[in-house]
Amino acid sequence: MSEYPSTQLPTAPKTSRRLRTEDCIVVDKRDLRKAQIGAGVGNFIEWYDIGIYGYLALTMTSVFTEGMDQRTGLLVTLLGFAVSFIVRPLGGMVLGPLGDRIGRRKVLFFTMALMASATTIIGMLPTAGQVGLWVLVPMYLLKMLQGFSTGGEYSGAATYVAEFSPDRHRGFWTALLNTGSQLGFAAGAAVVAVTTMITTSVWGETAMLDGGWRIPFLLALPLGLLAISLRKRIPESPSFEAAQEKADVENTNPIFVRQNLANIVRLYWPQILVGIALIAADGTSSYTVTSYMPTYLETQVGMATVYTAVATVVILLLQALIVPVVARWSDRIGRRPVYAVAAVGNLVLLLPAFALMHVGEVWSLYLALFMVSLPSAFFLALTGAAMSELFPTASRYGGVGLTHNLAISLFGGTTPLVSQILVEVTGNSYAPAFYVMFFSAVALLALLKMRESAARPLLGSVPVVASHEEAAALVDGQDTDERIDTSTMLLAPAPTVSASHASA
């Protein structure tokens, strides 16, 4: 099977141009660490916000939908969570191509500032008891601003780190973004739990409703300022800079040209469909663990908020440790086998896990959450690398931004709302499990059309290596290395040999 349908992704004709050691990008380890920290802090804050909103869902229902029936109010609150994902594709469509034009670093700086500002302002909104249900309008608008910024945040961070990482270790380095995401969500849940315990012990049982809920949101301001400070110091992606330098000289092949959104869809629709299928499975699985489980356990199982928050923090910390281990494994054996393990894991483990939840004991809660979170960790380990490997450098940010955000908006961010509706409509408490299992089955089918991309140079880029010795070894073995295809690389012209030197 060819790597891409020839009618969809034009490739340059095979060339006799050979790879030279000077063509390879040798990554500076200090710059790589700075890039990882600067990019990762944004994902941490993104999931911190998701965490606090998810764990405060019932409190937010009382605060912002006062006077409504509680069931209706909960759906309205969850709609506030989902509405931020409605505009995520718009953020990806605008910020992705912009990042391909002006650089990854500048766009990531903007997304961080916008995200931190919107989260902080939510913590300053009046309550429905003070101004009525009209407060839902600014809350939804702020959630939409968060969604717009997030539309460029993860796709930009994944693109940036993938282009900065040595090819043989790209899975590991990009997976650290999702480790940061899990830690961010865990931090959000922990802040909610600690805030609840402290405020209720000092001001009484209604402390969170009386204003304690604001504290986790207002903490986004100092976190955002720290993130902005870190992002000021990160360098631009070396692969992006190399492609920019050569694009004006060698731009006849479409994979080396910055494409607009319409051309990205026209040229790369097979990769987009594969990516959407994989992210749909990833998103439904991940958001069930992080954003719906608190509500599900409280409303369907009757667990107290503090118990679910503490249990999820423990599980997410464990997930954060598993993700880079699985990613390193995928660097060795490939992305496709690990994706298959993740999808099959959901098909096998979810129904027993949901049955364990309804036992209602603390031990069953922890075991059930671990069973739900394990396949999710496998999916998360691959997301950043696999999405970046689908598209060429010139249009990577735009391609990843469109694909990831469209799938997350349609299937990930709506998971809490859709899952709750399925439970309400069907009366079946296992409906959320079946919902996730369906998308895992679709992902297995998508794997049949996915190219293996682990440890290969990114499309449209030259090899990225960790040392000059690795570059020399790669060049020496290029004739027998199936991962090296110079037709997908922007290589500098070979040096000309003068007539006198040739005759000598």
Summarised one tens digit per residue, pLDDT across range 71-82 is 888 888 878 877
pLDDT at 2: 38
Mean pLDDT: which of 233-247, 249-263, 289-303, 395-409 is highest?
395-409
What pLDDT does 379 receive?
A: 96
Looking at residue 504, its pLDDT comes to: 37
- The per-residue pLDDT for 12 is 45
pLDDT tens for each residue of 389-430: 999 988 999 999 999 999 988 898 788 888 988 998 998 999
What confidence score (pLDDT) does residue 341 get? Answer: 97
- Report residue 7's pLDDT band, with 50, 70 and 90 as the boundaries: very low
C-alpha distance from residue 336 to each of 276, 363, 448 (Å): 15, 34, 9
What does the alpha-carbon distance between residue 468 and residue 323 come to, in Å, rounded to a whole number? Answer: 29
Decide: 365 and 357 in contact? Cβ < 8 Å.
yes
**Measured between alpha carbons, how far is 339 from 390 in angstroms, rounded to an integer?**
15
pLDDT of 1 higher than 80 = no
Residues 6+ apart with CB under 8 A from 407: 275, 276, 277, 278, 279, 280, 283
Q: Is the pLDDT higher at 134 or at 299?
A: 134
State the Cα angle at 366 between 361 and 370, rounded to 5°. Answer: 145
- Does 267 or 84 have the greater pLDDT score? 267
- Across 147-158, average pLDDT: 90
Mean pLDDT of 123-149: 92
Q: Are 474 and 24 in contact (CB under 8 A)?
A: yes
Strand partners, 464: 25
Residue 440: its H or E element: helix 431-447
Q: Is the pLDDT at 128 greater than 70, yes or no?
A: yes
Q: Decide if domain 30-233+240-477 falls under CATH 3.60.20.10.
A: no
pLDDT at 473 over 50: yes
Has residue 11 got a pLDDT over 60?
no
